Amino acid sequence: MIAMSMDVAPVERPLVVVIEDEPDLRQLVVFNLRAEGFEALGAATAGEGLAICSMHRPAVVVLDRMLGDVDGIDICAQLRADESLADAAILILSARGSVDDRRHGFDAGADDYVVKPFVVAKLVERVRNLAFLAAQRVAMRSAPPG
């Protein structure tokens, strides 16, 4: 269970969608997220990932920066433009780690940016933190005005 402040209800099993075109890496991330108590779904393409996200509204999206011929930055911007996914946290996972690459990711709406290669346990911890952030966004949006 995720530790949260008293104002935010805990999310028992937050859903994470992993959009990664490399099958072994996608399976590794999904397996480890599930082992740590998350619900996790994998998508091999941008189109598949966007469809899963719009259907299931995940708490967190782990998004590969280089998806075949599609730039993950564009997918990040599409996710941010979808009001039904406004509360989802987005983590870009990329082999590209320059300051400009990171800036482009954050400018597109990413909440975090992890460079490959990465330590799986640290990635899981960052996803856990992002799930907490997503839960706070939901709580703030549903709180009565005042």
pLDDT in tens, 27-57: 999 999 999 999 999 999 999 999 999 999 9
Task: Establish if 109 belongs to a structural domain.
Answer: yes
Task: Establish if 9 belongs to a structural domain.
Answer: no
Task: Establish if 8 belongs to a structural domain.
Answer: no
Q: How much of the chain exceeds pLDDT 90, in percent?
A: 83
Number of compact structural domains in the chain: 1
Q: How much of the chain exceeds pLDDT 70, in percent?
A: 92
pLDDT at position 3 is: 43
Task: Establish if 1 belongs to a structural domain.
Answer: no
pLDDT at position 4 is: 44
pLDDT at position 12 is: 74
Task: Establish if 39 belongs to a structural domain.
Answer: yes
User: pTM value?
Assistant: 0.89
Picking from 31, 42, 32, 101, the residue whose alpha carbon sits closest to that of residue 72 is 101
Task: Establish if 2 belongs to a structural domain.
Answer: no
The CATH number given to whatever domain includes residue 97 is 3.40.50.2300
Which strand ranges, in their side-by-side order, compose the sheet holding 15-19?
39-43, 15-19, 60-64, 89-94, 112-115
Number of H helices, E strands in the chain: 5, 7
128: containing domain: 15-142
Task: Establish if 7 belongs to a structural domain.
Answer: no
Task: Establish if 68 belongs to a structural domain.
Answer: yes
Q: How high is the mean pLDDT of the chain?
A: 91
pLDDT at 10 over 70: no
- Taking the CA atoms of residue 31, residue 28, residue 91 and residue 85 in that order, the dihedral angle to the nearest 10 degrees is -40
pLDDT at position 146 is: 64
Tens digit of each residue's pLDDT (9 = 90 or more) over 59-85: 999 999 999 879 999 999 999 999 999
pLDDT at 143 over 90: no
